[in-house]
Structure 1
Amino acid sequence: MTGAATAYAVRAQRLDPQALPARFTMPAGGSDAAVYLDRRGVVVKRRLSGLPLTLSLPISAFEGISVRIEPEGVDGLVAHVELTHRDPDLTLPLMVTRDMEEAALDWESWSSILGLPMLLTETDGQNRVVGGEAKVRIEAPKPRRRRAALQNRRPRFLARRKPGHSRPMPVIEGTEIIARN
């Protein structure tokens, strides 16, 4: 297949980030691989040297959601949005399109849904993180009530009560006492 034919074939199978889990096929080493993708991980089933192979990867095993823009023809550009892995054979195509606005929307949507950074693939093949990841500072919680200094003591409503005694309770022996009307 040529690059344009591949673009149209993948475009017909555009994966919607809002419709997870998703099942699709992708070309892998001369044969097709069946892929299952959800918010927690990816399962890839393919044949390797004639033997069935199943790979189960968590989403954290992937580097991020990358966009790669390539020239097509004289005036055209094609954007490839991919779930990028360190191993190029495990990189999953999510969409191929000529519409750059649609590619940018999907790129951001996939990144936020899967919790992975947005990557821009440079012309030399290197991935660069676009934008900063949101860092949440975690500190010790602030006291929420005026009486936070007294929190190691008994609660206020129990402080009004007198504590019980620790001596054994008396036991009444003899006839049984039953209350009857």
Structure 2
Amino acid sequence: MRRQTATSGINPAGSSRALRLDPLSLPVRFEAHDIRADGGVRHIELDRERIVLRRALHGMQMAINLRVSDFLGVALRGLDEAQLLVLVHRDPSLTIPLCVSSDREEIAVAWQMWSDIFALPLLPEDKLREPAARRRRHNAIRARRPKFLVRRRAGDLLNLANLHRNEREIIARD
């Protein structure tokens, strides 16, 4: 992996330059804003086949390794004065910013280049999918029989052929 310069990612605080990643200079490492991470920053490594997100959450370091094919596509989102180009994941917290620009021609060219490099579809702002539904919280196998009872055959509760009524019991004693 090549060594990346500091200008390839988000610029330091106070800088007026916006985020602009070059899709032709992959792999690239940069930092992005993450409200849930410690320090509000996550470190991202972009490659053609995989993406690694590194962040600390409540003091615990984590690295999430994702395939590019796990992402839905490259989307264009409109901000107040500029437009944001993002790599959209089903989980909104894993969505990755790629470019911020107020020049519409520049963002359109970058949008097409990122889509071609990652082989992902272009997702316009109005075609963005809803986030994935939350998983069920209850245990799906709770209503099943316990494992040791599964081996046993359930008996007949009421077998009418073996039911004897109004008969005297005969006990043979030696």
Shorter chain as denominator, the TM-score bin is 0.5 to 0.7
Q: Is 1:23 the equivalent of 2:23? A: no
Normalising by structure 1, report the TM-score: 0.58
Q: Which runs of 5+ in 2 are unaligned?
A: 1-13, 130-174
Residue 86 of structure 2, aligned match among 74, 78, 82:
82
Task: Name the SS for the 1:116 alignment partner.
Answer: coil
Q: Equivalences for 1:98-109 in 2 at 5 Å?
A: 98-109=102-113
Aligned length: 114
Give the Cα–Cα distance (whole angstroms) in 1 for the partners of residues 125 and 16 of structure 2. 19
Corresponding residue number in structure 1 for 2:74:
65
Corresponding residue number in structure 2 for 1:127:
128
User: Once superposed, which parts of structure 1, at least 4 consecutive aligned residues long, lie more than 6 Å away?
Assistant: none
**Greater fraction of residues in strand:** 1
Per-residue deviation at 1:31?
2.0
Deviations 1:91-128 (A, max 9, x none): 10001110000000000000001000000122xxx517
Contact in 2 for aligned 1:26/1:32 (Cα 8 Å):
yes
Give the Cα–Cα distance (whole angstroms) in 2 for the partners of residues 50 and 106 of structure 1. 36
Corresponding residue number in structure 2 for 1:50:
59
Cα 1:9/1:41, change in 2 over 3 Å: farther
Give the Cα–Cα distance (whole angstroms) in 2 for the partners of residues 9 and 33 of structure 1. 19
Per-residue deviation at 1:89?
1.1
Normalising by structure 2, report the TM-score: 0.61
Larger Cα-atom Rg: 1
Contact in 2 for aligned 1:39/1:59 (Cα 8 Å):
yes
Task: Name the SS for the 1:112 alignment partner.
Answer: helix
